Chains A and B, each alone.
Chain A
Amino acid sequence: MKKLIVLSLAGVLAVGTLAGCTKIEKPEDTKAAAEETDNAGSTEAEKTGSDTTEVVETSASAETAASAKKENSGEVVVYNWGEYLDPDVIDLFEEETGIKVVYEEFETNEIMYPKVAAGAISYDVICPSDYMIQKMIENNLLQELNYENIPNIENIDEEYLKWSEEFDPGNKYSVPYCWGTVGILYNTSMVDEPVESWDILWDEKYKDNILMQDSVRDAMMVSLKKLGYSMNTTSEEEVAAATDALIEEKPLVQAYVIDQVRDKMIGEEAALGVIYSGEAIYTQRENENLEYVIPKEGSNLWIDSWVIPKNAQNKENAEAFINFLCRADIALKNFEYITYSTPNKAARDLIEDEEIKNSTIAFPTSDMLANCETYQFLGDDTDEMYNNYWNKVKAS
């Protein structure tokens, strides 16, 4: 009995430690599987009588051709935000192209970056945000896209390509995937007054009812914007002031979260939460008391795009993947699942629900975005300054 306990404990420990690692299937596996089906086909052919041999042979060779095609197709390693792609789309892509998708997720740009920079895992296609793409270009981590393999780029609205040039001049490295704002999601049954300013997150009334974003730039953005500064400031004084404001706010905050804002707001755990616009439509579907607003002081206008890192092993597959996602019907299917604003105008035209098609949450008008900015990469030193100040907030 004792041994059994010890064994199972050891097992638990081992499983616990390994749980953190994600398994990446080697391409050999797919090849081996293909060969197996091959062999099965030929044995079947041998078994059947001589009259039918011809027929069977053709079918067997067809099978071989199919498996050969699969063998060449290989795989594509995708590294994307959590809950940011309809799983059905992956299945469709695999079915149509025979390329196997190995899918991994990250929670923040900051978590994604060191993994890619270290190069231990060679991802083929990644979906970072604007300022992070700029950082990756500057640090020479990305390779140029071959647009001959991405003809569906024509579905993407020119406006977003122009906007992308802010961080990717000439659109050499990135294809826009989703865009949106950051704002306040609030529960109308718990908040009486109209919400229009970031100031409400500093209101004593809502102590323990506020959810903040647990990432440096987003949290700092809220505070900087509230104080009337630019969210791309490099002035230490302004960042320090924003830090003081965040420390002042901390006793009122219920928790610092990222993806969990969504579930907590739906479950009415909190009255106010800082959230990405794309989640707003989804949460409203689940709980009709929720309302989304872009505060008047302005906010973050962001864009997430697909890029291919330098050390990608399957560049062509990655481009096929990007191209597939740009196809109007696929982009629409995906939009309906993740509810993040799509820059794909062909897909937007296909939206049947007029309410969604003209929703100001999904597609805000330009006057709503008046004070909004896009993040810029501020350089490693400023990055570190932000991190150190953010640490002060967390430690307070």
Chain B
Amino acid sequence: MIKKKKLLSGPYLVWTVAFIVIPLLLIVYYGFTNEAGSLTLENIMNMGTPENMKALWLALLLSLISTVLCLILAYPLAMILSNTKANATGLIVMIFIIPMWMNFLLRTLAWQTLLEKNGVINIALKFLGLPSLNIINTPYAIVLGMVYNFLPFMLLPIYNSLIKIDRNVINAAKDLGANEFQTFCKITFPLSLPGVISGITMVFVPSLTTFVISDLLGGSKILLIGNVIEQKFKQGSNWNTGSGLSLVLMLFILVSMAIMQKYDKDGEGAAF
């Protein structure tokens, strides 16, 4: 019986090795060698150049802001959802999911059209006699794009952990004289923490590494670390430096995951 179960994991194992382990090893190989194939730390040190440090810093800042914004937006909504009746929940969740059936690039391009100088939003504002909105090609537009694209990834884990909370625990707190605020601080929030942690990871990591959003909504004027890596691979066709930079970026992601892991002891938030 056990043997059979092991056999079933075969395809997944092949998949993991072929598409995760081997590419990762390749990145490590490229990251630590130069074009001639000899060992070097130059690619890693390349992160230290002022341009790349600036791009990394900006990427960290913008993804942090987006993560916080997502959390502020998603948590109350998740609470409302977890308290509504099943039918209504389905509807609201669907409203959140349906846009995701469209391609990610298309949705980001749509924001470009919306935010442009003569875009849909500005035409509407002009019609109403309001001042125009000029955030396209600025960091604000990039944050907007990140929040818009990654919000569902924050909402759903939090929602999942909230509906798992035993109603009796909350009722008990109320019986013992806790008011709404105390119940939230002492019971609801701590119990939903795994979801929050998982949501933070799922928003922070893609925001940190994105290059598409910053390209499309930043007018290629704002260079994030993802763009630097993309350029190394595509324009400079310098795979070695690109891999070296990716490795450093991976380090940042690993550190953030390790911090998250500390709070998410029983891995409950790992809904996905």
Interfacial residues, chain A to chain B (CB-CB below 8 A): 1-2, 5-6, 8-10, 12, 15-16, 19, 108, 110-111, 113-114, 117, 208, 214-216, 250, 253-257, 267-269, 383-384, 387, 390-392, 394-395
B223 at the A interface (CB under 8 A): yes
Shortest distance in angstroms between A255's beta carbon and chain B's nearest beta carbon?
3
Shortest distance in angstroms between A107's beta carbon and chain B's nearest beta carbon?
9
Contacts of B100 in A (CB 8 A): 8-9, 12
Q: Are A387 and B86 in contact (CB under 8 A)?
A: no
Q: Mark B87-115, 1 if CB is under 8 A from A, else 0.
A: 00110010001001101110000000000
Given A16-B103, A392-B51, A1-B235 contact (CB < 8 Å) = no
Q: Are A268 and B118 in contact (CB under 8 A)?
A: yes
Bound CA span A162–B64, Å: 57
Docked complex: B51-88 residues within 8 A CB-CB of A: 51-52, 54-55, 86
Can you give 8 contacting A-B residue pairs, CB < 8 Å? Answer: A8-B100, A108-B235, A114-B239, A254-B219, A257-B219, A384-B238, A391-B223, A394-B220
Find A114's partner among B52, B89, B90, B237 (CB 8 Å cutoff). B237
Contacts of B152 in A (CB 8 A): 9
Interfacial residues, chain B to chain A (CB-CB below 8 A): 50-52, 54-55, 86, 89-90, 93, 97, 100-101, 103-105, 116-118, 134, 137, 152-153, 156, 160, 163, 219-221, 223, 227-228, 231, 233-239, 271-272
Contacts of B86 in A (CB 8 A): 1
Find B54's partner among A108, A111, A384, A395 (CB 8 Å cutoff). A395
Q: Are B220 and A267 in contact (CB under 8 A)?
A: no
Contacts of B97 in A (CB 8 A): 5, 8-9
Find B105's partner among A19, A215, A257 (CB 8 Å cutoff). A19
Bound CA span A6–B93, Å: 11
Contacts of A10 in B (CB 8 A): 272
Find B156's partner among A9, A16, A256 (CB 8 Å cutoff). A9
Quick one: closest A residue to B153, CB to CB? A9
Q: Are A6 and B271 in contact (CB under 8 A)?
A: yes
Given A1-B86, A1-B89, A269-B116, A256-B234 contact (CB < 8 Å) = no
Bound CA span A10–B55, Å: 30
Bound CA span A125–B231, Å: 25
**Lowest 5 CB-CB distances: which A-B pairs, in order?**
A255-B219, A395-B51, A114-B237, A256-B220, A110-B235
Shortest distance in angstroms between A183's beta carbon and chain B's nearest beta carbon?
21
Contacts of A214 in B (CB 8 A): 220
Q: Are A12 and B237 in contact (CB under 8 A)?
A: no
Q: Are B220 and A16 in contact (CB under 8 A)?
A: no
Shortest distance in angstroms between B76's beta carbon and chain A's nearest beta carbon?
19
Bound CA span A257–B233, Å: 19
Quick one: closest B residue to A215, CB to CB? B235
Contacts of A250 in B (CB 8 A): 221
Q: Are A113 and B237 in contact (CB under 8 A)?
A: yes
Given A6-B271, A16-B104, A255-B219, A114-B233 contact (CB < 8 Å) = yes
Q: Are A394 and B223 in contact (CB under 8 A)?
A: yes
Find A5's partner among B55, B156, B220, B221 (CB 8 Å cutoff). B156
Quick one: closest B residue to A214, CB to CB? B220
Find B237's partner among A117, A257, A395 (CB 8 Å cutoff). A117
Q: Are A256 and B223 in contact (CB under 8 A)?
A: no
Bound CA span A208–B93, Å: 40
Contacts of B105 in A (CB 8 A): 19
Shortest distance in angstroms between A226's beta carbon and chain B's nearest beta carbon?
20
Quick one: closest B residue to A114, CB to CB? B237
Q: Are B90 and A15 in contact (CB under 8 A)?
A: no
Find A255's partner among B104, B160, B221 (CB 8 Å cutoff). B221
Contacts of B220 in A (CB 8 A): 214, 255-257, 394
Q: Are B160 and A2 in contact (CB under 8 A)?
A: yes
Shortest distance in angstroms between B202's beta carbon and chain A's nearest beta carbon?
10
Bound CA span A384–B242, Å: 13
Bound CA span A387–B152, Å: 37
Given A8-B100, A9-B272, A110-B237, A255-B156 contact (CB < 8 Å) = no
Bound CA span A392–B223, Å: 10
Quick one: closest A residue to B235, CB to CB? A110
Contacts of A208 in B (CB 8 A): 117, 134
Find A395's partner among B55, B101, B116, B236 (CB 8 Å cutoff). B55
Find A19's partner among B55, B103, B219 (CB 8 Å cutoff). B103
Contacts of A269 in B (CB 8 A): 116-118
Q: Are A267 and B118 in contact (CB under 8 A)?
A: yes
Bound CA span A19–B212, Å: 13
Q: Are B272 and A6 in contact (CB under 8 A)?
A: yes
Bound CA span A301–B116, Å: 32
Find B93's partner among A5, A255, A257, A395 (CB 8 Å cutoff). A5
Q: Are B223 and A111 in contact (CB under 8 A)?
A: no
Contacts of B271 in A (CB 8 A): 6
Given A9-B156, A110-B237, A254-B137 contact (CB < 8 Å) = yes
Shortest distance in angstroms between A238's beta carbon and chain B's nearest beta carbon?
20
Q: Are B223 and A114 in contact (CB under 8 A)?
A: no
Q: Are B51 and A391 in contact (CB under 8 A)?
A: yes
Quick one: closest B residue to A209, CB to CB? B117
Contacts of B233 in A (CB 8 A): 114
Contacts of B93 in A (CB 8 A): 1, 5
Quick one: closest A residue to B219, CB to CB? A255
Find B103's partner among A1, A15, A255, A267 (CB 8 Å cutoff). A15
Shortest distance in angstroms between B56's beta carbon and chain A's nearest beta carbon?
11
Contacts of A395 in B (CB 8 A): 50-52, 54-55, 223, 228
Q: Are B137 and A387 in contact (CB under 8 A)?
A: no
Q: Are A253 and B156 in contact (CB under 8 A)?
A: no
Bound CA span A216–B104, Å: 27
Bound CA span A63–B5, Å: 51
Contacts of B103 in A (CB 8 A): 15-16, 19
Bound CA span A108–B237, Å: 12
Bound CA span A256–B223, Å: 11
Contacts of B101 in A (CB 8 A): 8, 12
